[in-house]
């Protein structure tokens, strides 16, 4: 019976190690914007110590908004980053609200994650909600 519990412990440890990939793309689940106005949507690639985002390969962010939300550029690369030379670049996307309501913004991020001697491709998708509110006139 003892060998079974040892192998179960080994499997648990291996499963835990593979669950920590060493990177994360941070995008808020929801951004609020007034109708006719723009709001910033931050996109940040975070990597663990000892890892970098390859500077020799492209960083590509594709943005596909539903009708009612608009982005100026549908494809971003490292040159559009707030900090293009960083080991883990950050982006600030202006999202404009055209129609009131909740609108999905599909985001696909692709880059190469590098350790000391090897790199591997990363391709992740996420959907953020753009909540467009109607503006009410302030006054008497």
Gap between the Cα atoms of 129 and 52, Å rounded: 29
Is 1 part of a structural domain of the chain? no
Is 2 part of a structural domain of the chain? no
Is 70 part of a structural domain of the chain? yes
Contact 62, 43 (CB under 8 A): no
**Sorting pLDDT into bands at 50, 70 and 90, what band is 11?**
very low
Is 14 part of a structural domain of the chain? no
Which domain, by its residues, includes 56? 22-133
pTM of the model: 0.79
Summarised one tens digit per residue, pLDDT across range 70-107 is: 999 999 999 999 999 888 999 999 999 999 999 999 99
Domain count, the chain: 1
CATH number of the domain at 120, please.
2.60.40.10
Is 6 part of a structural domain of the chain? no
Contact 97, 39 (CB under 8 A): yes
Is 95 part of a structural domain of the chain? yes
């Amino acid at each position: 019976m003892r060998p079974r519990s040892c192998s179960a412990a080994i499997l648990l440890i291996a499963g835990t190690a593979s669950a920590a990939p060493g990177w994360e793309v941070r995008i808020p689940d929801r951004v609020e914007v007034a109708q006719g106005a723009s709001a910033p949507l931050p996109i940040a690639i975070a990597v663990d110590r000892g890892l970098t985002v390859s500077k020799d390969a492209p960083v590509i962010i594709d943005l596909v908004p539903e009708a009612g939300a608009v982005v100026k550029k549908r494809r971003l690369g490292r040159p559009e980053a707030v900090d293009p030379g960083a080991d883990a670049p950050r982006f600030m996307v202006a999202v404009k609200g055209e129609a009131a309501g909740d609108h999905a913004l599909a985001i696909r991020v692709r880059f190469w994650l590098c350790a000391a001697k090897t790199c591997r491709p990363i391709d992740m998708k996420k959907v953020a909600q753009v909540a467009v509110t109607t503006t009410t006139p302030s006054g008497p």
